[in-house]
Structures are given as structure tokens and as C-alpha cells.
């Protein structure tokens, strides 16, 4: 079963074409990472999928529904079925963690205040935040806790599909690895499908099922990391054969890297 199907997508800003005839499929229950060099259109693609940007041409189906040309009412209903975790968290600074997580529940459900409070606490626990973090404000959180608070809010409406924008950016290696593991755990326990943008090479090995490499205005390949790192396309080869990429590869599959 597929949760995202993109065909012949074209996006552009004025005369600058970002994507041209881009195809991509995301299957249910997998983590797909979007990678590529600067300017390859990773963020633009994500924005088009979540209906923040209208493509010039092509088709994007999300959870079985065409989103290109979708009405505002239909878009609102569809957005309730997915969660979005932004790179900087995008939490409301004047609200506590629990109040931030409660916002989608207040806007999109008819639950009582008590039920919303209980659900918010549940989502905070799911994001592996300590209970005492509920009453803290974003400015009082560490980088790792801030990411988890944003993740808790993204999970508020029990999404089928989760989008993550640079989830481990700015985190130390231990915190980044813990967040990677949490994403995999949530995928498996909640049956989530996940699309994430990341530059974290360890995350690609640790949490992704497939990696979609963007270049030349399209998806050049979408494969598991073990296959992608030996791909012969020059852009892909150069991206994964630098010292940092080889170090990450060796830590996960030492036999795959020659000394």
C-alpha cells in the first residue's frame, strides 16, 4: 500500500525550475529520507507534499487523495491525518509544552478539557519526555527536549503519516541517536509512515528504510542505504564517498568500506 505517490512533478519560482518530471512513491510503514545537495529542492518538495506550495504541474497523492488543486476544506481534513515536525520546533513560546501539544486537539476535536489534558500528557510520554517537562516553556528546554516536544505535538492527532524536517539538526551524537531510535520505535508501534529531510548520515543508516536522492531536478534513486552508497551516478557517488560519509558507513557496515 502506498501513502504518497508523486508523478511528473514540476515546481518553479518565476523562471527557476526546481523539479521537473519528478517521481516518488512512499509505501505504508516505511521511513523515507530525502537527501541531496544544497539547492536540490528537498524543502520545496516537502512543502508541496504538505500543501504549503502549489506545483506548476504534475500529481501528488497523499493518503489516496490528490492534493494538487485541492480545496481548503479538503486540505484541512487531510492535514488532520498527518503530523509535521519543523526543524526549529515552531512551538509557541508563550505556551508550555503541554499547552503546545494541546493546540491541535483544541482546534480539531470536540474533546473536553480534561480529555485534551490527558491526551497531551500521553503524547508527551510517547515522545519520551519526562513528565516534569509538561509545564516548561520552550525557552527552558534543551535542544533534544525541544525536538521531542515538537514531535509530541506532531503526534497529537494520531497521524497516519509523519513529516520530519531535519529532526536531529543541532543535537549531539547521543541525543541524535536516541531520537533516531525513537522515530523507528514510533513507526513500528504506531504503524506510522515517515518522510524526513536530513543531512545526518548516521540517521540515514540508523532509521531510514529507503533514501530518495534528489538531483538534476528529480529523484535520481530511491533505495536502501546499502544500495545507494554504491550507486554509480556521479552526484550520488560524490555525496556518499566523502570522509564523513565513509566514516558513517563504516560504523554501520565495516566490511563495506575498504581501508
pLDDT of residue 16: 93
pLDDT of residue 250: 54
- Which residues are 5's β-sheet partners? 25, 61
- In this model, does residue 109 exceed pLDDT 70? yes
Give the CA radius of gyration of the chain.
19
Give 27-55 pLDDT, tens digit per residue. 999 999 999 988 899 999 999 999 999 99
pLDDT of residue 257: 44
pLDDT of residue 248: 53
- In this model, does residue 256 exceed pLDDT 50? no
- Residue 120's Cβ-count burial label (10 Å; 0-12, 13-18, 19+) is buried
- pTM score of the predicted model: 0.90
pLDDT of residue 189: 94
Give 177-229 pLDDT, tens digit per residue. 999 999 999 999 999 999 999 989 999 999 999 999 999 999 999 999 999 99
Confidence of residue 259 (pLDDT cuts 50, 70, 90): very low
What average pLDDT does the segment 237-247 reach?
A: 70
pLDDT of residue 193: 96
DSSP string, the chain: -EEEEEEEEEEEETTEEEEEEEEEEEETT-EEEEEESTTS-HHHHHHHHTTSS--SEEEEEETTEE-TT--HHHHHHHHTTEEEE-TT----TTS-HHHHHHHHHHHH----HHHHHHHHHHHHHHTT--GGGGG--GGGS-HHHHHHHHHHHHTTT--SEEEEESTTTT--HHHHHHHHHHHHHHHHHHT-EEEEE---HHHHHHH-SEEEEEETTEEEEEE-HHHHTT---HHHHHHHSSHHHHHHHHHH-GGGS--
Give 113-167 pLDDT, tens digit per residue. 999 999 999 999 999 999 899 999 999 998 889 999 999 999 999 999 999 999 9
CB 12 within 8 A of CB 57: no
Amino acid at each position: 500500500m502506498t501513502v504518497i505517490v508523486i508523478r511528473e512533478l514540476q515546481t518553479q519560482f518565476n523562471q527557476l525550475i526546481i523539479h521537473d518530471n519528478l517521481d516518488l512513491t512512499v509505501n505504508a510503514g516505511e521511513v523515507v529520507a530525502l537527501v541531496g545537495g544544497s539547492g536540490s529542492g528537498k524543502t520545496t518538495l516537502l512543502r508541496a507534499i504538505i500543501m504549503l506550495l502549489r506545483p506548476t504541474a504534475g500529481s501528488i497523492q497523499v493518503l489516496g487523495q490528490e492534493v494538487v488543486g485541492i480545496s481548503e476544506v479538503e486540505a484541512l481534513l487531510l492535514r488532520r491525518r498527518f503530523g509535521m515536525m519543523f526543524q526549529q520546533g515552531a512551538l509557541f513560546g508563550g505556551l508550555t509544552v503541554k499547552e503546545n501539544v494541546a493546540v491541535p486537539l483544541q482546534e480539531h476535536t470536540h474533546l473536553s478539557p480534561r480529555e485534551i489534558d490527558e491526551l497531551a500528557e500521553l503524547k508527551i510520554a510517547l515522545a519520551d519526555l519526562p513528565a516534569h517537562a509538561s509545564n516548561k516553556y520552550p525557552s527552558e528546554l534543551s535542544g533534544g527536549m525541544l525536538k521531542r516536544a515538537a514531535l509530541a505535538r506532531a503526534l497529537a492527532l494520531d497521524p497516519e503519516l509523519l513529516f520530519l524536517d531535519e529532526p536531529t539538526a543541532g543535537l549531539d551524537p547521543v541525543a541524535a541517536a536516541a531520537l533516531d531510535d525513537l522515530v523507528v520505535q514510533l513507526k513500528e508501534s504506531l504503524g506510522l509512515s515517515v518522510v524526513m529531510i536530513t543531512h545526518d548520515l548516521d540517521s540515514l543508516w540508523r532509521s531510514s528504510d529507503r533514501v530518495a536522492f534528489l538531483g538534476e531536478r528529480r529523484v535520481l534513486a530511491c533505495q536502501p542505504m546499502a544500495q545507494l552508497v554504491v550507486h554509480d551516478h556521479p552526484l550520488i557517488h560524490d555525496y556518499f564517498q566523502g570522509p564523513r560519509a565513509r566514516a558513517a558507513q563504516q560504523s554501520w557496515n565495516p566490511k563495506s568500506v575498504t581501508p
